[in-house]
Structure 1
Amino acid sequence: MSDPWDGPGDRATRSRTGRVPVQREAAPGAARPAGGRAAAKAATRGGRAAARRRVRPVGRGRRVLRIAGICLALLVLGTAGVGWWFYQHLNGNINSVSLDGKGGTEKADAFGRTPINILVMGSDGRTSQADCQLGGGCSRTGVQTGSNADVQMVVHISADRSNATVMSIPRDTMTHVPACKDSASGQSTAGYYGQINSALQYGPACQVATVHQLTGITIDHFVKLDFSGVVKMSDAVGGVPVCVSDDVYDTYSHLKLSKGTHTLKGVAALEFVRSRHGFGDGSDLGRTVSQHIFLSAMIRKFKSAGTLTDPAAVYDLADAATKALTVDDGLGSVKKLVALAADLNKVPTKRMTFTTMQTAPDPNNRDRVVVGAGAGSLFSTIASDQSLTTGSGGKSTAATATTKPTATAPPVPASEIAVTVENGTTITGRASAIATTLTEQGFGSGTSTANAPSHATTTSLTYGPGQEAEARTAAQALGLPDSRLKQGTGNRLILVIGSDWPSGTTYPDSSSSPAPADTGSAVSNAHASTADQAKTCAKVSTYRTVTLNGVSMTPSQAYAAARGKPDSDA
């Protein structure tokens, strides 16, 4: 094996100095050295000895260099080997699933940049012993096979990476689930009307397709975590600091915390993000807000210098993340996940907006909700890659949940509005799809469908005298820009679906200006906040949402009554 330090130059040098040539005889006629033949021999022996003395230090130096070179090479190879093992190890952790084209196709902006939309799902599945232990409910059934997406967040990163929006969709939302088949289990459905979180039973791609159909937002990727994934991630970052407004004991998720700030790790973190009876009104709407507080704190922790500059912390985080996540095959490698994290890291926390999709009570079930007025504007804002914060991170529109849309007339409740939806395309079922969306959002039972008198190239919503406010409410629900509204002479709202709206239930505005122009309507009643709000506390419910020893009480009363139970972060 050749020595890595033995280059061409070294070989040439060795041939000259490795061996001393024998002294040549004197040329004829030259004077013989004084002292005769004995003196000449002695001089020759002395010259050879001197040469050997000169060569030895060079040989020792060369051996030292050779040893150093071998050590360095082994060090480099060892380091590279560890890096390669680490890379392969992380890649081996990742579980990826194909989206099968269910999420739509993203459009580039004028500069060729594209936004990124990711559906983040939290699964309630008890598909392992660890999840059975954490989630409970396996005492009779054992390890289960199906799961629901009890957490659904559309994470939008803008094309220029300057801002991001996170929109939660409550799990109790009723919607149409399209025809789906899970490539892994083979389980399929022809489509049905039901709770949105149930689509995950037919695979992650089905959940993506359902959210895409509901919102009209292109979904490029998905990330799914289970119970144990939340535990691993919170442990990897060294805990997540959260604040609660009062003492809280959710007897269902088992979260028990005193008033104030706590750093939650492991099971305590899972109890916090699962708690729906401890916060807000005790429903899933209150839970989405507390989850935003948790995620904002986790993002701030990710961005802190101490987390990302500590090699041990980075390794623990990467190892935990890759073990905890199921992703689509577009994110199915460490390289792709790192690129995604780098894109998200570019966005300042003051320009990350958290919102919850606006909802209305389901008229058929008080324990369920449907898409509410204003949700169409929020969907359209995300689909149009429009920021919900100002360039300086101002929260005048995004962080104020009471912001009102700037309409020219007072808003009219959706339940008082009936819309005639006419199909002006050659695509069967377009009017029915839009009409169903309107009724799901609480519009009046008089909403009906028909075929348009002739083919329409552009979509339009025509309203009669005095019906402008009704038209704007309908337009907001569907993401229609003002340019598609026009006043007529009749007394009905007539929506004609044109060929510019061939699919989806949110209008795909293709104009150069973003829609909607007013982001106030997009965040109205959306519980909006930004990730830099470190002092925000989760509002503990003041309703009797929990039960202790058979008695209904508030979470704070339950905390006081359960003094013997240790706190979650004890």
Structure 2
Amino acid sequence: MTDEVDGHKAPRGNRRKPKSRAYRIAKIAGIVLSVLVLIVAGLGTWLYNKFSGNLHTVSIGGSMGAEKADPYGRTPIDFLVIGTDARNNAQDCQLGGDCGSSGYGNADVEMVVHISADRSNATVMSIPRDTMVNVPACTDPNDPKNTTTGYYGMINSALSYGPQCQMQTIHDLTNIPLQHFMMIDFSGVVNMSDAVGGVNVCVDNNVYDTYSHLKLAKGTHTLKGVSALEFLRSRHGFGDGSDLGRTYAQHMYLSALMRQVKSAGTLTSPTALYSLADSATKALTVDNGIGSVGSLLNLAAEAAKVPTSHITFTTMQTMPDPSNQNRLVPAPGAQSLFGAIVNDQSLSGGKSGSSDASSTSASAAPTPSASASPTTASFPAAQIDVQVENGSGVNGRGSDLANYLTGKGYGSGTTAVTAPQNVSTTELHYGNYSTDKAEAETVAASLGIPASHISSDPSMQGVVLIVGTDWTSGDTYPGGTAKPAPVDTKTALQDSHSQTANDGNVCAPVSTQQTVELNGVPMSPIQAYAAAANVPNSAP
């Protein structure tokens, strides 16, 4: 950082800057696409009342945060998918192995689903249930006696105080706005897998999880009913035997379910569509904002626009809890993943709603005002160096803004100097390098500088901010609306075990560690498979 000094004038006409180019139950998101695609495909409005009557609805006190519209007035959609371990009926008790959990249960699956503003891409982020977080003070709107003053504990325990508490806990952790939730139980998974005729999954070795009872030979299998639940519940069979391995396997299952739902065999069969709609709506508990089939269909119609190749599954980056090696805490890299979702950045190679004006339905959208703050930013802040010239007449003003930008992640080459003279109007100039304009728009979005204050200067390279007497304090241009600087998507995806929904060539990695026991002897799931020849496989 270079501090501005009186008498150190910025050269005019040749400014150059150094460029520092330096799944526990995947079912619900599947249900979303299912219900979306299926009734849109033609079941007819006469079934709305029947399917709406299947739904279980729970009130929440409102959404957590608000999505930001893109230049065309479109907003992203964010909701939480919850898989509960509650055993509130005979089928759940049988499938779950006991009836020890009642009420809402614990959220053994937590997936944040983000659908971009332009509907060109989506991100599904799993949060491992073993993550330790601060659960805020909560009161269940449906039971005022069910309340907590807040505590430090496993993230999945927040559901015991109601879905709203679970949503609030995740919003506080990630800053991702959440509008709705969808929750499903054990029996819902079984019925959904049966309704689509089974889901194809692959395992890269023989596996026998003696806890979930999943037993499969190496290769691809079609899972139905209980075998599907065993696969989704298995945490000792995959990866390192933790909840992380289970989330990766769930993403594979959900991807396969989505492909199955969109297949011709499902969409062209009235019987299959009816069964899918009936099973999906019976399985769901949703918030009152989407507590009808009509509302779900609207949501489904939006989600169905996203091709499977642009649906990215990720897992929040974690590391062992220093206080308890059997628990997790968010890793520093998770902040980049959260930021990418909040910024509506595509993580799948698709076009993000905030960066492409020509994407789906853009031609029918209104043209953004010339005075609107640009939101076409597509460059990570770390790749942008800004020269800040202080023409405000306030000593140190340039340094304040330069420090603010570097604090927001802008390049270490960001500098502050004194302008040759004071100017009345703040201006943002960019050079003739091919990426300079996009970089200037990124800076403008971060500072709330309107498009009318941005212009090109062919004699320079890079981005130069000239601060005028109209902006003598604060980090956002008066009257402007600052937007977060985009994050590096490669950094956001690092260690997140990402994959896209159209990838059908991935096999779940069976654990090679001693994560299970058979007859009291610790062994790997591979060894357990060989030692349990008398136990039938979960699927042929």
Q: TM-score, normalised by structure 2?
A: 0.68
Specify every segment of 5 or more residues in structure 2 that has no aligned partner in the other structure, as ranges. 1-42, 353-379, 384-399, 413-442, 448-473
2:253 and 2:491 mapped to 1: Cα distance?
Answer: 26
* Counterpart in the other structure of 2:515: 545
Q: Which of 157, 163, 166 is the matching residue for 1:207?
A: 166
Query: Does residue 260 of structure 2 align to residue 301 of structure 1?
Result: yes
Matched pairs, number: 393
* Counterpart in the other structure of 2:328: 369
Q: Are the structure 2 counterparts of residues 262 and 116 from structure 1 closer, same or farther at C-alpha, using a change threshold of 3 Å?
A: same
* Counterpart in the other structure of 2:105: 147
Give 3-state SS (helix, strand or coil) of 2:91's partner.
helix
* Counterpart in the other structure of 1:378: 337
Q: For 1:92, give the aligned amino acid.
A: G
Query: Does residue 160 of structure 2 align to residue 197 of structure 1?
Result: no
Q: For 1:144, give the aligned amino acid.
A: S
Q: Which of 230, 241, 251 is the matching residue for 1:271?
A: 230
Q: For 2:68, give the aligned amino acid.
A: K
Radius of gyration: which is bigger? 1
1:318 and 1:458 mapped to 2: Cα distance?
Answer: 55
Query: Does residue 57 of structure 2 align to residue 87 of structure 1?
Result: no
Contact 1:187 1:202 in 2 (8 A): yes
Alignment of 1:527-542 (within 5 A): 527-542=497-512
1:224 and 1:174 mapped to 2: Cα distance?
Answer: 21
Deviations 1:331-355 (CA, angstroms, capped at 9, x unpaired): 1111111222221211111111110
Deviations 1:64-94 (CA, angstroms, capped at 9, x unpaired): xxxxxxxxxxxxxxxxxx9666321111111
* Counterpart in the other structure of 2:534: 564
Q: Which of 206, 210, 216 is the matching residue for 2:175?
A: 216
Give 3-state SS (helix, strand or coil) of 1:155's partner.
strand
Give 3-state SS (helix, strand or coil) of 1:108's partner.
coil
Contact 1:149 1:200 in 2 (8 A): yes
Q: For 1:316, give the aligned amino acid.
A: S
State percent identity of aligned pairs: 60
Cα offset, 1:389, TM superposition: 2.2
Query: Does residue 290 of structure 2 align to residue 331 of structure 1?
Result: yes
Greater fraction helix:
1
Detail structure 1 runs of 4+ shifted over 3 Å in the superposition. Answer: 82-85, 405-408, 456-463, 480-484, 509-514
Contact 2:187 2:283 in 1 (8 A): yes
Query: Does residue 495 of structure 2 align to residue 515 of structure 1?
Result: no
1:261 and 1:198 mapped to 2: Cα distance?
Answer: 34
Contact 1:242 1:297 in 2 (8 A): yes
1:527 and 1:108 mapped to 2: Cα distance?
Answer: 29
* Counterpart in the other structure of 2:213: 254
Deviations 1:245-267 (CA, angstroms, capped at 9, x unpaired): 00000001110000000000110
2:403 and 2:186 mapped to 1: Cα distance?
Answer: 45
* Counterpart in the other structure of 2:525: 555
Deviations 1:172-231 (CA, angstroms, capped at 9, x unpaired): 111111111123343100111111000000001110011101000001111101001111
2:188 and 2:73 mapped to 1: Cα distance?
Answer: 35
Cα offset, 1:144, TM superposition: 2.7
Cα offset, 1:129, TM superposition: 1.6
- Where relative contact order (Cα < 8 A, 6+ residues apart) is larger, the structure is 2
Cα offset, 1:137, TM superposition: 2.7
Alignment of 1:102-113 (within 5 A): 102-113=63-74
Cα offset, 1:115, TM superposition: 0.5
Q: Which of 87, 102, 105 is the matching residue for 1:126?
A: 87
Contact 1:406 1:520 in 2 (8 A): no
* Counterpart in the other structure of 1:21: none
Alignment of 1:419-438 (within 5 A): none
Cα offset, 1:326, TM superposition: 0.5
Specify every segment of 5 or more residues in structure 1 that has no aligned partner in the other structure, as ranges. 1-81, 394-404, 409-455, 469-479, 485-497, 501-508
Give 3-state SS (helix, strand or coil) of 1:194's partner.
strand
Cα offset, 1:302, TM superposition: 1.2
Give 3-state SS (helix, strand or coil) of 1:171's partner.
coil
1:191 and 1:366 mapped to 2: Cα distance?
Answer: 23
**Root-mean-square deviation (CA), in Å?**
2.9
Contact 2:445 2:482 in 1 (8 A): no
